A and B are shown apart, each in its own frame.
Chain A
Amino acid sequence: MRSTNGTEVGALLWAVLTALRVTFVNLFRKPVTVHYPDVTRKYPDRYRGLLALVYEKDTGEEACIGCRLCEYVCPPAVIKVEMLKSEKRNYAKTFTLELYACEFCELCVQVCPTDAIVMTRSFDMPTTDRRDMLLDKDRLHAVGLQHQPSWATGNLLRDMQGPPKLARAEAHAKKEEEVKTGGPA
């Protein structure tokens, strides 16, 4: 028996019953919703959240040297840095980040030579005023203290992704030499 549009009536009925069964089974499943402000999910290790500036771990100085690499690489051009020349090392005189236009691509983190700018495992910056999203140096440091930084920093990423460094190449050459001569010299 065929219905008016040429489909088997049996197949149609089967489809109808299958659809009803799927929704019925779903009715007794546990909801997947997480009550966000009350319960926070654990974020992945390399979460691309809010951007932050960090201090150096051993000296406690701010890690940014104001080299402006992040400003050059930023696709939407939301980072503006001015360098402050100093004797021993340079500093960032100003560092502003327009978070409302940031596209969270992580390129600034990848190029940072001193691991100064990182992403944190949080997106917790709701506001009703657009101007609150214009982050200056102090606020970026504050975000770094507030939230847990993500796993990725500039040097770690370059080690992982970039071509082998000289030291690694030398070690490799030495190993091959050992294989050729047979055992350590």
Chain B
Amino acid sequence: MPSWISPIIAPFIVLNVVIGLVTYVTLLERKFAARMQSRIGPYRVGPHGLLQPIADAVKLMMKEDVVPTLADRHVFNLAPIVFLIPCMLIFATIPFAPGLGVADLNIGILFFLAVSSMEIVGLFMAGWGSNNKYALLSAMRAVNQIISYDLPFIFSALVPVMLAGSLKLSDIAAAQSGMWFIFYPVIGQLAFIAFVVSTLAAENRVPFDILEAESELVAGFRVEYSGMKFALIQLGEYAHIIGSSFLGALLFLGAWAGPGPEWMGPIWFLLKALFLFLVVTWIRWSFVRIRVDQILALSWKVLLPLTLALLVATSIVVVWRQSAGI
């Protein structure tokens, strides 16, 4: 096989797998949420509602595509794509098994963090282009929140980077073959909690969902979108959540480490990512939305000092480990 084929085939495969995964993850979330409320969830389409995501997709494709008269048409039409691309790009650097990934960059985690913050551009374009007060308010809140939570997110992700001594995601995963970083005494658990909280905020999930607070802003920045554009935005949002779950599983839960033969690696990785996704869903259905000032206070007054102190502690541990020769 010539060497130029893999860079063409690999993104294609990853993209399709991710889209399929994201489609079915919505069903998983709906079933899980329903059980938490003693309901059943989707049940009628296919056995136990297994065909529900496909029915949803078909429904969204057949919907009328409405563009508001006063909307900025070009920005409005471009926004879902600008939103979707970074959310899909974050899968580029994730190695699903040793040597199995699109591009194992040596600054992989930096690429991930940079690209995942770029979705805010598409989000703000959607809010601005809609020419709708709810959408605009929501987009401004989103920018505010994502900027506030990027720092704790990056700092908590840097703890495993320092422990592993590399920015390359496959190196970080390989460094956990002995012990997963979540089991690292004190530092690991605290960093994991900070990571989960700041990913929740970066994904705009409950309890940090002020940007689509239903009672105030209807549906937030996507209020004017319908049909396939709405589907693209939803796809991007869930892809971002799944991508962050994969990153969390890779940074803290040992990526593809697990019992069984080597080909079980990607399955373990997927299971760990889905576990993280379910934790996020669990949190979503347990809490109410918190206020804007509380969200910002949590970021700047609690998470930022905590993660900074964690970074200092981690660097002390790393230096001590080197000098002790462990």
Q: Which residues of A contact B (CB under 8 A)?
A: 3-5, 16, 19-20, 22-24, 26-27, 29-33, 35
Q: How far is it, in angstroms, between the C-alpha of A24 and the C-alpha of B282 when the chains are bound?
A: 8
A-B contact pairs, 22 of them (CB 8 A): A3-B302, A4-B294, A4-B301, A4-B302, A5-B294, A5-B297, A16-B287, A19-B286, A20-B283, A23-B285, A23-B286, A24-B282, A26-B35, A26-B36, A26-B37, A27-B36, A31-B34, A31-B38, A31-B39, A33-B38, A33-B40, A35-B40
Q: Report if B320 contacts A (CB, 8 A).
A: no
Q: 5 nearest interchain CB pairs?
A: A19-B286, A23-B286, A4-B297, A33-B40, A23-B36
State which size class the interface on B falls in.
10 to 19
Smallest Cβ-Cβ distance to A33: which chain B residue: B40
Tell me whether chain B's interface is mostly helix, strand or loop, or mixed: helix
Q: Report if B43 contacts A (CB, 8 A).
A: yes
User: For B287, what are the chain A residues with a Cβ–Cβ distance below 8 Å?
Assistant: 16, 19
Q: How far is it, in angstroms, between the C-alpha of A118 and the C-alpha of B105 when the chains are bound?
A: 77
Smallest Cβ-Cβ distance to B291: which chain A residue: A5
Q: In the complex, are the beta carbons of A35 and B43 less than 8 A apart? A: yes
Q: How far is it, in angstroms, between the C-alpha of A16 and the C-alpha of B200 when the chains are bound?
A: 15
Smallest Cβ-Cβ distance to B32: which chain A residue: A27
User: For A23, what are the chain B residues with a Cβ–Cβ distance below 8 Å?
Assistant: 36, 282, 285-286
Q: How far is it, in angstroms, between the C-alpha of A27 and the C-alpha of B37 when the chains are bound?
A: 7
User: For A33, what are the chain B residues with a Cβ–Cβ distance below 8 Å?
Assistant: 38-40
User: For A24, what are the chain B residues with a Cβ–Cβ distance below 8 Å?
Assistant: 282
User: For B37, what are the chain A residues with a Cβ–Cβ distance below 8 Å?
Assistant: 26
What would 5 more interface pairs be, CB under 8 Å, given A27-B36, A31-B34? A4-B301, A5-B297, A19-B286, A23-B286, A30-B38
User: For B283, what are the chain A residues with a Cβ–Cβ distance below 8 Å?
Assistant: 20
User: For B302, what are the chain A residues with a Cβ–Cβ distance below 8 Å?
Assistant: 3-4
Smallest Cβ-Cβ distance to A21: which chain B residue: B286
Smallest Cβ-Cβ distance to A28: which chain B residue: B35
B32–chain A nearest beta-carbon distance, Å: 8
Q: In the complex, are the beta carbons of A27 and B35 less than 8 A apart? A: yes
Q: How far is it, in angstroms, between the C-alpha of A29 and the C-alpha of B32 when the chains are bound?
A: 12
Q: How far is it, in angstroms, between the C-alpha of A24 and the C-alpha of B283 when the chains are bound?
A: 10
B45–chain A nearest beta-carbon distance, Å: 14
A77–chain B nearest beta-carbon distance, Å: 38
Q: In the complex, are the beta carbons of B38 and A32 less than 8 A apart? A: yes
B303–chain A nearest beta-carbon distance, Å: 12
Q: How far is it, in angstroms, between the C-alpha of A35 and the C-alpha of B37 when the chains are bound?
A: 16
Contact among B35, B286, B294, B297 for A31, CB-based, below 8 A:
B35
Smallest Cβ-Cβ distance to A4: which chain B residue: B297
